Chain A
Amino acid sequence: MAKIVIDGVEHEVNPGNNLLQECLSLGLDLPYFCWHPSMGSVGACRQCAVIQYRDADDKEGMLVMACMTPATDGAIISIEDEGAKSFRSDVVESLMISHPHDCPVCEEGGECHLQDMTQMSGHNYRRYDKKKRTHHNQYLGPFINHEMNRCITCYRCVRFYGDYAGGTDLSAQASHHHVYFGRHEEGVLESEFSGNLVEVCPTGVFTDKAFSENYSRKWDLQTAPSVCVGCSVGCNTSPGERYGSLRRIVNRYNSEVNGYFLCDRGRFGFDFVNNRDRLLEPVQRIDNTGELLADDQVKALIKEFKAEGTIGIGSPRASNESNFALRVMVGEENFYAGYSDVEHESMQVILDLASDTAFHTPSVREIEAADAVLILGEDVTNVAPRIALALRQSVRNKAKDLADESRIPQWQDAAVRELAQHERSPLSILSPAISRLDDVASDRIIESLSAVVSMGHQIAEKISASAPNAAASTEHSQLIEKIAMQLKAAKRPLIIAGNSNGSDMIKAAANIARALRDDSDKSAIDLCLLVPEVNSVGMALMAGAENRLGAALEKLQSGEAKRVIVLENDLYRRAAKAAVDAALTKAEKVLVLDQLPTATTANADVILPATAFSEHEATYINYEGRAQLSFQVHQCQKQAQPSWRWICDAEHVDDLVERCCNEALGFERLREVLPGENPFVAGMKVPRQSHRYSGRTAMIANINVHEPKQMEDKDSVMSFSMEGIPAQKDASVLASSWAPKWNSNQSISKFQDEVNGELKQGHVGCLLIERKDSSGSYFEAAEELIEPSAKQLRVVFSYQIFGSDELSARSKPIQARMTDAYIGLSPVDAKKRGLNQGDVATISPLGSPAVICIRTGIKAGTALLYCGDRNISPADFSGLIEVEKSAIQTTSRGIGSLIVSDFHEEEISS
């Protein structure tokens, strides 16, 4: 700790930080633009100027940039000094010389850091009366608008997009008054994290295009703390609703999970909530016509389903509460897992490992701290995107070490990068195809799945003699040795795998981590096992190890079970079509609860409409076993209800959570995610609407001029109104970040215990799975897979950030980026079969169509199969397939929007 004096008041600060960060941590108002809490300082904007005095006798002082000056012990500074103030006011005035002053039509308006800083700096009269320079704007794809005239050249966009997120298609161009931030030509921004530009840019240059289609000011949005349902990372979000439709999603800070950033699936994938096809009424199908069900009919039906002979199928995309309610209704032994049997098997392995004391599952923040990483067979960017962004930071730990050695503070971003040049901490990727993280990989090996598994076991053996003997491969032996040594030498090594392609990869990864543990004095090794869906882990904990989906389908087919309740799940994505068809046809009655029509609801006798994530309060469990609470944001306009409410008589989410804690093994701590002991401040609830929320009394004036009573929220500490205890006044939850003078998302520092610290409201979630099993042992090396014949290829399932997740794939902005199902082939394999880029092929055994995508970075003999958002189910294929050109060559989306770095260019013979 250091002591510094700011405007005559002594403060304790962290000398490792810069003055700006420390001032913000202290809650002081000091304007800035280019500094960012997770990207550090570059001193580009000159907005954070303060006066620093040499000593107590120095009355003059000198201007320094707070973000570029360390908070050294004894420093004396002034924010309030007139010289500093007028300098800051002049800076913002000059930054705004060519700014169009178009706030009324700018979508940033009302949550604009530039507006806030202009006000705070005291610049209120424009003296510049010359011609303004103007720019051309670019088309940047379906996610982001571009309005370059509003730029103040803070360089945050390119620092985030390029330096932080590894994007290569956005740059700073031209010089002096013409500096331009854009692509080299118009086109879709390729980075999976492009949406963060909306929040990183302090002005209205980059705004949310999807939001602008249906725009509303920040203060008119109804918000609540929510959790992204796009994948198993569980990033925290603030969705905003107005007039019954969900308008946008912005990041909600969680120090352990997403920090300040989301991926584009999470940000733009919410629109399925507004999908016109939403199921909104309970219906019963009788002879192909749907009949609306009245309340008592529904009750009678539920009663019928409560009888003996009913089984339930859960869902990895449904909440814990809904899965639990179904389990209670049908009985634990009749509750079946709602994912494929292959996934089921791998989830059992993952659960076992999750309680093993040899390992630790790192949070996203902890992933950033890894100093040597090995990824086995997983395409992290497309499966758990936010983790890929964290891995991009982990490789910078080498740079930070170098900076420490040279005594350069880590927040000196440009200096640290300059010093390190291309030096990175090791990150090795072993997989059957090139991935989107390869640009930061120190080593990569492209090999077949089984070869990758076997190399994994070899690495384990190289690390520790205690690991089982593995068949040594002659190829790559040096690299294997090198990777093993790097992991051994690391302070915090991290092994990543996932269940995209069965459990062999997971076992190999676990062996490596165990070997690292055995070889060192570390108590546990970071092992991160990725799963695909928001509540994969929650459902896995809920369903018994024997209760596979396949077993459920068999029971139905054999008549052992008569009725089935399918919870928010399209079984055709989970099991082979023939098996699902047979089971659903045989079942006497099929009840499906869901949000949108699917192939499964098409075969249901009864459909009960379920609310979407923003329409109910729920808990989910992420890849680490972290339980998180997501609040209801808005009311569902029609008759949809949380699935649990249809099938059980619990009144509130809290009651269910309580029961779940007591009755479901592994959920004992779930109640800890509910707002604390005393969530109400002075007996008041927390409003979802801002204090400036406008037009409430007139909102439904087209229907009725009388303002209806605000809906009451019986489930939570939040209310559907403007009244109550606002967030900046010690509310127990933080829906949307706002503080006096700080209308933009930068206000978050007002809610952190210190910059980048935990929120004052807490809520980092709660880790459910206790590690207490110390008897774990190595897995035996996997058996070699059968070599494919000349015609055959081995399937490797591939996932896409835009398309693989069922719900976000039904959002319009996401659809604009989706491709058809495709088969990725190496150039040799394509040539052998006479296939060209973009051809439509059929895949045996089912003859399903998929577009051919020839890539140079795919292992020969491997067919990378992306199943698209419908038509093909992974469960229909396993092992070996044959691919041939189809007689029908029509595509709907094609593979035009696929972003890969190794797209094979056909040689143009001249």
Chain B
Amino acid sequence: MSQQVIASTANKARKLSVQEIAEIEHEMTLYPDKRAVGLEALKIVQKHQGWVSDESLLGIAKYLDIPAADLEGVATFFNLVYRQKVGKNVILFCDSVSCWIMGCESIKGHIKEQLAIDYGETTQDGDFTLIPVPCLGDCDRAPVMMVGPDLHRNLTPEKIDSIIADYKNK
């Protein structure tokens, strides 16, 4: 039974791409042991794939020769390692103190209305995923959110509309 698990797990492992391997190999030169490279490898794979599927996780575990259970522990510890498929653009929406004081609740309500998604959900067209984050470190320009790698400050409903439109057209 277990062998089937091992075997099926082995079959499920995705072969990492040449590019992913090259980047992981580079990280390996920076750390004393392979286990430590786990997190970087997850980030690399997420950069290329958008998220970390079961197959990718197993692929990394196999490549680094570390237990999948350990790597899963790392992957699930960090909430920005996505273990579920996310949209093309991930909105990290700050709902921490300063942003809350500055009215992020209503901004969130607006996003929710416009995109018809709540926290943890992805739009049907696969364009956006909405995730809350605690403080983006830009409190003086609250409310704040990130879309992909970009920071957007002093949010207003109008701004939200144009941001959404921009990313849609990208």
Contact = CB atoms under 8 A, between A and B. Distances in A.
Contacts of A173: 72-73, 76-77
Interface stretch (A49-57, A387-395, A895-903): A895-903
Contacts of A141: 1-2
A184 B75 CA distance: 11
A281 interface: no
Given A422-B33, A905-B10, A172 B5 contact: no
Q: Is the interface of A mostly helix, strand, loop or mixed?
A: loop
A169 B69 contact: yes
A173 B33 CA distance: 21
Interface in A885-910: 895-899, 903, 905
A182 to B, nearest CB: 8
B79 A175 contact: yes
Interface residues of B, number: 22
B68 A903 contact: no
A141 B5 CA distance: 11
Interface stretch (A185-193, A260-268, A651-659): A185-193
B9 A185 contact: yes
A720 interface: no
Interface in B35-69: 54, 57, 67-69
Given A173-B76, A173-B77, A175-B79, A184 B3 contact: no
A178 to B, nearest CB: 8
A174 B76 contact: yes
B69 A184 contact: yes
Interface string B68-88: 111111001101000000000
A896 B1 contact: yes
A419 to B, nearest CB: 14
A185 B68 CA distance: 9
Interface centre among B3, B54, B79 (most CB of A within 10 A): B3
Nearest to B12: A185
Given A173-B77, A896-B1, A184 B72 contact: yes
Contact of B2 (A168, A422, A899): A899
A175 B3 contact: no
Nearest to B61: A184
Contact of B67 (A171, A185, A898, A899): A171
A187 B5 contact: yes
A172 B5 CA distance: 20
Interface in B98-138: none
Contacts of A180: 76
A197 interface: no
A183 B6 CA distance: 12
Given A171-B69, A173-B72, A185 B1 contact: no
Interface in B1-32: 1-7, 9-10
Contacts of B6: 899, 903
Given A903-B3, A903-B7, A905-B10, A184 B68 contact: yes
Given A188-B2, A897-B3, 12 more contacts: A173-B72, A173-B73, A173-B76, A174-B76, A184-B57, A185-B5, A185-B54, A896-B1, A896-B4, A897-B2, A903-B3, A903-B6
Interface of B: 1-7, 9-10, 33, 54, 57, 67-73, 76-77, 79
22 contacts: A141-B1, A168-B70, A169-B67, A169-B68, A171-B67, A172-B73, A173-B72, A175-B77, A183-B69, A185-B5, A185-B54, A187-B2, A188-B1, A188-B2, A188-B5, A190-B2, A422-B33, A896-B4, A897-B1, A898-B2, A903-B3, A903-B6
